[in-house]
Amino acid sequence: MSYLPTRDQIKIGMNVLVELKQDKGTGKLTKGVVKEILTSGNYHPYGIMVNLSDTQRGRVKQISENNVKFDNENNLNRFDTSIPKEEDPWNEFKSTFQYDLKEEIFRNEGKIEAADARKNDQKRIRDDIQKEISITVSAFANQEGGRLFVGVSDDSSVLGLERDLKYYNQSKDKFKLAITDSLKKFLKNNAFLAKLKFEFVNTDNKEYFIILVPKSTDAVYLHFLNIQETYVRMQNRSQKFNTEEFLKHCKDRF
């Protein structure tokens, strides 16, 4: 029997080879990027059914070798790092992890008073920017998973990590540790955080950072100022849910 990838080996944003319905039995496979995983079980004898980013649907027969490799235990340790054209239910862009880009913009525009006001409120603003990272991670986790790109602008262009790295003496290890510590602070869920995957990517002399967020098997909450908040990915945004809304969501989701 030929090997077919299981559901837990297939990730949102991954390049795969699928058999489309019209190609069943022909041996023809179509390459695409996973947008949504449809099969609920971990295994299917004909392959896990997925929706691709180009709206086609098919059963996964292979995981493309150019973006994935497995360790000796068949666990994924690589994933697709290409930047999509725009944000969607499975992809989110963040310009920075903690650097206040608005202050820089104000200074470049000659709005010194506004820039100084933001600088004087630097700690709160940095906390808010970092919080947005955790909001996105929790929202992806409470829906179907996704990829969070840091150092990428809203228009999908690579801004780079230079502004953030200066806080860590250009050390990528310290930068990744800072992100991990921030996620621990806001999510308070080490069991889930252990499932996240991180990747630095170089392109056109600029670098960006990706957090691959799996679909969680339990609700992931955000904790801020002794308040527990809940977020769910809806279209291209992380939507805050009230208690009643989230309970309804959990009933169908978990």
Q: What is the pLDDT along the chain (254 residues), one digit of tens a residue?
A: 346 888 888 988 888 889 999 988 888 889 888 999 999 888 888 899 999 988 899 999 988 754 544 343 334 445 678 888 889 888 999 999 999 999 999 999 999 999 999 999 999 999 999 999 999 999 999 998 889 999 999 999 999 999 999 999 999 999 999 999 999 999 999 999 999 999 999 987 899 999 999 989 999 999 998 899 999 999 899 999 999 999 999 998 88
Quick one: which of 201, 241, 223, 249 has its CA closest to 67? Answer: 201
Q: How many CB atoms lie within 10 A of CB 11?
A: 25
Domains parsed from the chain with CATH numbers: 7-63 (2.30.30), 91-253 (3.30.950)
pTM of the model: 0.72
